[in-house]
């Protein structure tokens, strides 16, 4: 499983080092259209027998979902005139969606797929059990012969039981972690599959030279990121959080850091509104870190924290170098 902490290592000279949030590449609320709400313009088009439905996960409090009729020709394709997103060619990426369908009424049908128009062999697929045996999620990834295939491996949980379930995946170097309803299920290792760059990105089916494996069921709140979501972020999504609420679509960064003439240290970061942060400090980056505040409320898009001189935990007037960690 992937874990990530927002980290600022701060020197009194003013230098700063930080990690980044996963960037939201595409987000589809599916509330009456297939437009990308992330602002990146990665819009999609639905083909065949899809319709917008008022049937949505209860925790989303309304809106619409998209129902797929499971027939040939029915699927959704992203950026059809620009070779898709090719997100599965990245070394690290994440995805999230709500699904509703019956595994026993689908057979090897796909909720998310990337493939090529010019070559039917390479595939990255997430879908229903290939033999309709149960409601498990089926992972199938291929580029070549049998030895170069992760062939139909399944989750323990069964999200395709006819009710709404949240599905998320985090890929890191061909190790794919799958979460069902916010809970880590298992890891799939497809390191034996050679790299390929897909040209088609679809939901509700596969598109290569033609479409196939068309899903009978519904999808809602689909999103993709270019980095690893944390387990905590996936839990938030499964509880109904919008992908837009997880973080800025730009990297986490320290926008200002000042040590005044009295020795007080003030730093500001680009924050998320209505979010609580923890602020920690250390002299050597070793555990355990010293907690300065575990419930520091965001001030909006920018949040500022000050460590004042005389602080009993760690006094900036005395210490020549101090490290800080910001968590959420």
**Domains of the chain, CATH where assigned:** 7-19+252-327 (2.60.40), 24-245 (2.60.120.200)
Quick: pLDDT tens for 206-255: 999 999 999 999 999 999 999 899 898 999 999 999 998 885 445 567 78
Give dist(CA 328, CA 26) in Å, integer: 23
Residue 155 pLDDT greater than 50, yes or no: yes
Residue percentage of the chain with pLDDT more than 70: 91
Nearest 5°: CA angle at 155, between 153 and 160? 110
Residue 184 pLDDT greater than 90, yes or no: yes
8 A C-beta contact, residue 316 and residue 293? no
8 A C-beta contact, residue 84 and residue 263? no
What pLDDT score was predicted for residue 247? 54
Residue 288 pLDDT greater than 60, yes or no: yes
8 A C-beta contact, residue 78 and residue 42? yes
Res. 50 pLDDT band, cuts 50 70 90: very high
SS3 track for 256-287: EEEECCCCCEEEEEECCCCCEEEEEEECCCCC
| Element containing residue 233 per DSSP (H, E) | helix 231-238
Res. 15 pLDDT band, cuts 50 70 90: very low
Quick: pLDDT tens for 191-205: 999 999 999 999 999
Residue 2 pLDDT greater than 60, yes or no: no
**pTM score of the predicted model:** 0.72
């Amino acid at each position: 499983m992937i874990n990530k902490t927002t980290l600022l290592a701060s020197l009194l000279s003013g230098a700063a080092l930080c990690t980044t949030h996963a960037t939201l590449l595409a987000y589809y609320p599916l509330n009456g259209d297939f437009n990308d709400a992330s602002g990146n313009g990665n819009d999609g088009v639905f083909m065949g027998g899809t319709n917008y439905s008022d049937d949505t996960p209860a925790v989303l409090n309304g809106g619409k979902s998209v129902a797929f009729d499971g027939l040939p020709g029915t699927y959704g394709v992203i950026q059809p005139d620009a070779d898709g997103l090719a997100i599965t060619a990245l070394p690290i990426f994440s995805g999230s969606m709500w699904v509703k369908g019956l595994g026993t009424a689908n057979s090897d049908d796909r909720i998310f797929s990337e493939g090529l128009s010019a070559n039917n062999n390479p595939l990255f697929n997430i879908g229903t059990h290939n033999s309709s045996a149960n409601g498990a999620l089926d992972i199938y990834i291929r580029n070549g012969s049998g030895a170069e295939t992760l062939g139909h491996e399944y989750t323990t949980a069964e999200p395709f039981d006819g009710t709404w379930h949240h599905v998320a995946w985090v890929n890191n170097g061909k190790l794919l972690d799958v979460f069902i309803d916010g809970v880590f299920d298992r890891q799939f290792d497809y390191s034996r599959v050679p790299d390929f760059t897909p040209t088609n990105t679809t939901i509700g089916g596969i598109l290569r030279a033609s479409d196939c494996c068309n899903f009978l069921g519904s999808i809602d709140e689909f999103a993709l990121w270019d980095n690893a979501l944390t387990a905590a972020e996936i839990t938030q999504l499964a509880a109904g959080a919008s992908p837009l609420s997880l973080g800025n679509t730009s990297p986490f960064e320290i926008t200002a850091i000042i040590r005044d003439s009295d020795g007080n240290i003030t730093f500001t970061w680009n924050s998320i509104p209505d979010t609580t942060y923890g602020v920690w400090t250390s002299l050597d980056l070793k555990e355990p870190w010293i907690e300065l505040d575990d419930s520091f409320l965001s001030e909006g898009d920018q949040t500022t924290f000050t460590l004042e001189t005389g602080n009993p935990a760690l006094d900036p007037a005395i210490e020549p170098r101090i490290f800080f960690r910001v968590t959420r």
